[in-house]
Structure 1
Amino acid sequence: MTGTDVIILGAGAAGLFAAGQAGQRGLRVALLEKAEAPGKKILISGGGRCNFTNLGAGPANYLSANPHFAKSALARYSPTDFIALVEKHGIAWHEKTLGQLFCDGSAKQIVAMLLDECPPDCVTLTCGVEIAEVARGADGRFTVTAADGRQWQAPALVIATGGPSIPKMGASDFAYRLARQFGLKVVEPRPALVPLTLGGEDVLFRELSGVAAPVLARAGEGKQKAEFVEAALFTHKGLSGPAILQISSYWRHGEPVGITFLPDAASDWLLEAKRDRPRTHLRTLLRERLPDRLADALADRLASKGSGLEQELGNCSDKELRAAQARLADWRFAPTGTEGYAKAEVTAGGIATAELSSRTMEAVKVPGLYAIGEAVDVTGWLGGYNFQWAWASGFACAEALGEALSRSQS
């Protein structure tokens, strides 16, 4: 049996970062990973260039049953802090749109950096570990037993195994099963940042597969309502693209999704066009502002049911044009579901924040047990926000572990 100060389960973004930070504070860390190599999800992120943070990351960019939970950790480890680490390791980076930061080179650089940050005399990474059992003794120490009989023991255990999104990468619900074993509640997990599927009358839009356009997409209700202005992409199964992935985290089965086509258009743009260009057709106007196939599909649907919208604008009634404007400003889709964990970039829900300290990530009722990263009910927007939560929660956890070690030595 290997004795150590802390066992971290999962060598993904949160686990790797927490291990390095804990090791730098003098803790002996056993970092256990199920896969044959660390950081597998990091390597495929951002098209292989890793969207490692977002300049604007703050509490408002995260979805959780407790919207205040992430504030403490995010305030103590900011995007600027991680950028400084990236630059210390000589990794060139660039900003894309909306504050998204990527490596100029490869996501492999981020994994290598995280490994380099782990002091070899303090952090021991063991891959290929299939965990058979996790137990907590009467003395409060945790024992992790692998399927091959190897064991590790420590007074602290960190759950950093993420959620079940992208199962082909080895993702599972292990974090939730372990949390429940120790009496922690779990907010119902669901796929997030995931394409939506369409059926019924909406299935007609599948003919537009491959067509993309900037839109304002909205979903959710009450405090869980959100809207994003980005591109939407029609697929052979339904809707995808950044705007749709963003709202998917807020969408619930049975709820509609609202799309504003031409989000920059003036409120009475069709009436103005009727006045200025009476010989023009609605289809022509839409083709000037949208991809032809999408413009035609929208024009066909607007002109259905005997309306006069196939005529020149000058022959259309103001009432018809106002109705068309309203429909284009709030086109309702009724998703039948999502493409599931296989296509989800992250998992929403997870270990309930009510069970954890927002300052330390430690379980309130189980001393020495911590949870960080995607395993926790904190889900970021698309664009580097989930990585920033991994760094921030990992830092908060490591800081708390360092404080605990100092107390034990004094």
Structure 2
Amino acid sequence: MEEFDVVVIGAGAAGLMCALTAGARGRRVLVLDHANRVGKKILMSGGGRCNFTNMYSTPDNFLSANPHFAKSALSRYTPWDFVEMVDRHRIAWHEKTLGQLFCDVSAKLIVKMLTDECAVVGAEVRTHTPVESIEVGDPHRLRIAAGEVRAGSLVIATGGYSIPSMGATGFGFDFARSLGLDVVPTRAALVPFTLSGRPLEQLEGLSGIAVDSVASCGDGHFREAMLFTHRGLSGPAVLQVSSYWHPGDSVEFDLWPGAEIAQAIAQARLERPKIALRTLLAERWSKRVAQRWCELWLPDQPIDQLSRGEVDRIAAATHRWQVKPSGTEGYRTAEVTIGGVDTRHLSSKTMALRDQPNLYFIGEVVDVTGHLGGHNFQWAWASGHAAGEVA
């Protein structure tokens, strides 16, 4: 039998942050993970360079059944607190777009930083160590292959279902349900849309082309690139709005954002009256997209021949193009799992169960989901730090 002050299940971003924070308080910490290496999501994020936070991350960048829950942890551990650690380890970084911060070299440096910090404070990390059973109590008793582990505090940092090829499971959700906790229904988020039938056929041959857009669904509105794929639609705008989409919903795209196509047509009538609509559209879109839109929905004729009704039709197909996805690519490619352990059971200050203050849930397993662009890592750091300060 082994005894520790704190056992953390899950050696991802939130779990490692919790471990190094608790260890810095002199707590004896053990981190367990069933995978063969730590920080797998960190390593694959940002194309291998890890979008480790967002300098503009605020509670408004998160979805939850309780939109106020994340405020406490996020306010007490900010993006600049994490940047201070990155700078202390002399990891070069840069802002890409919209406040997204990336490593200059490799995500491996972020994982090394976290494991080095754990080593300094004596927090032990074990991979290839699945937890076979948990008996909640005082102390908690965990069964692993090597025997029994006891801990005064237990932290669940097991993530969600997204990207099962990396070992993601529903362990944390299942454990929460076994305790009688509510779990807000989960689904894949930050994920590409799939199309089928006629809608997919209409876009055949456009795969790989990106268009500046504003994607809207429900309360979500995002101006970023939309990408045509061989299965449907992707790109940052689509990933963002997917968190707001439910089966059966339509998604609307403004494919001429920041300007009015009717005004562009009126200006062209004065300066270039014989220019074809397809040519005008291709000045902001690719030639292939402009040609396809004219083939499907728009009158491809000289600008000076367009009627008022035709201009209205062009505006609708350009500013209010609607698509009803048949689905998403699912957890296979989803960056996160939306939903999770209901925050009504948790203290927003400590991340502990309200009626069991030595049992904590942090990171993606909790019903707090960030927008694309480093916000989910910031929630991992903030929630992990909040638990680590008291566990």
**TM-score range for the pair, normalised by the shorter chain length:** over 0.9
Q: Which residue of 2 aligns with 1:128?
A: 128
Amino acid at match of 1:271: A
Following superposition, the deviation at residue 275 of structure 1 comes to 4.3
Following superposition, the deviation at residue 40 of structure 1 comes to 1.3
Does the Cα contact within 8 Å between 1:206 and 1:237 map onto a contact in 2? Answer: no
Does the Cα contact within 8 Å between 1:348 and 1:378 map onto a contact in 2? Answer: yes
Q: Which residue of 1 aligns with 2:80?
A: 80
Q: Match for 1:214 among 212, 225, 248?
A: 212
Does the Cα contact within 8 Å between 1:271 and 1:318 map onto a contact in 2? Answer: no
Q: Match for 2:154 among 157, 163, 171?
A: 157
Secondary structure in structure 1 of the residue aligned to 2:204: helix
Following superposition, the deviation at residue 121 of structure 1 comes to 6.0
Does the Cα contact within 8 Å between 1:260 and 1:329 map onto a contact in 2? Answer: yes
Distance, in Å, in 2 between the alignment partners of 1:247 and 1:206 is 23
Does the Cα contact within 8 Å between 2:159 and 2:365 map onto a contact in 1? Answer: yes
> Which residues of 2 match residues 21-40 of structure 1 at below 5 A?
21-40=21-40
User: Is 1:239 the equivalent of 2:233?
Assistant: yes
Distance, in Å, in 1 between the alignment partners of 2:274 and 2:40 is 58
User: Is 1:265 the equivalent of 2:262?
Assistant: no
Q: Which residue of 2 aligns with 1:248?
A: 242
Distance, in Å, in 2 between the alignment partners of 1:177 and 1:234 is 36
Q: Which residue of 2 aligns with 1:90?
A: 90
TM-superposition CA deviations, 1:310-359 (whole Å, max 9, x none): 33222221121022112211100010000010110111111111111111
Secondary structure in structure 2 of the residue aligned to 1:320: helix
Distance, in Å, in 1 between the alignment partners of 2:46 and 2:84 is 20
Shift in alpha-carbon separation, 1:161–1:366, aligned structure 2, 3 A: same
Aligned residues: 389
User: Is 1:381 the equivalent of 2:371?
Assistant: yes
Q: Which residue of 2 aligns with 1:404?
A: none
Distance, in Å, in 2 between the alignment partners of 1:77 and 1:212 is 36
Following superposition, the deviation at residue 71 of structure 1 comes to 0.5
Q: Which residue of 1 aligns with 2:301?
A: 311
Q: Which residue of 1 aligns with 2:192?
A: 195
TM-superposition CA deviations, 1:68-114 (whole Å, max 9, x none): 11110000000111101100111111111111111111111101110
Following superposition, the deviation at residue 49 of structure 1 comes to 0.8
Amino acid at match of 1:200: G
TM-superposition CA deviations, 1:110-158 (whole Å, max 9, x none): 0111011114563111111122111113xx3211112x25221112110
User: Is 1:176 the equivalent of 2:173?
Assistant: yes
Q: Which residue of 1 aligns with 2:289?
A: 294
Amino acid at match of 1:289: R
Q: Match for 2:333 among 331, 343, 348?
A: 343
Q: Which residue of 1 aligns with 2:343?
A: 353
Q: Match for 1:284 among 269, 279, 285?
A: 279
Distance, in Å, in 1 between the alignment partners of 2:247 and 2:100 is 30
Does the Cα contact within 8 Å between 1:360 and 1:396 map onto a contact in 2? Answer: yes
Structure 2 unaligned blocks of 5 or more: none
The percent identity for this pair of structures is 51
Amino acid at match of 1:252: H
Does the Cα contact within 8 Å between 1:206 and 1:238 map onto a contact in 2? Answer: no
Amino acid at match of 2:277: L
Amino acid at match of 1:383: G
Following superposition, the deviation at residue 272 of structure 1 comes to 3.6
Distance, in Å, in 2 between the alignment partners of 1:235 and 1:186 is 33
Q: Which residue of 1 aligns with 2:317?
A: 327
Following superposition, the deviation at residue 368 of structure 1 comes to 1.2
Following superposition, the deviation at residue 207 of structure 1 comes to 2.5
TM-superposition CA deviations, 1:160-199 (whole Å, max 9, x none): 0100101010001111001111121101111111000012
Amino acid at match of 1:295: A
Does the Cα contact within 8 Å between 2:191 and 2:333 map onto a contact in 1? Answer: yes
Following superposition, the deviation at residue 267 of structure 1 comes to 5.8
Structure 1 unaligned blocks of 5 or more: 304-308, 402-410
Q: Match for 1:392 among 378, 382, 390?
A: 382
Does the Cα contact within 8 Å between 1:206 and 1:234 map onto a contact in 2? Answer: no
Shift in alpha-carbon separation, 1:271–1:30, aligned structure 2, 3 A: same
Amino acid at match of 1:245: L
Q: Match for 1:229 among 212, 223, 228?
A: 223
Amino acid at match of 2:294: A
Does the Cα contact within 8 Å between 1:353 and 1:377 map onto a contact in 2? Answer: yes
Does the Cα contact within 8 Å between 1:8 and 1:29 map onto a contact in 2? Answer: yes
What is the root-mean-square deviation in Å for CA atoms of aligned residues? 1.3
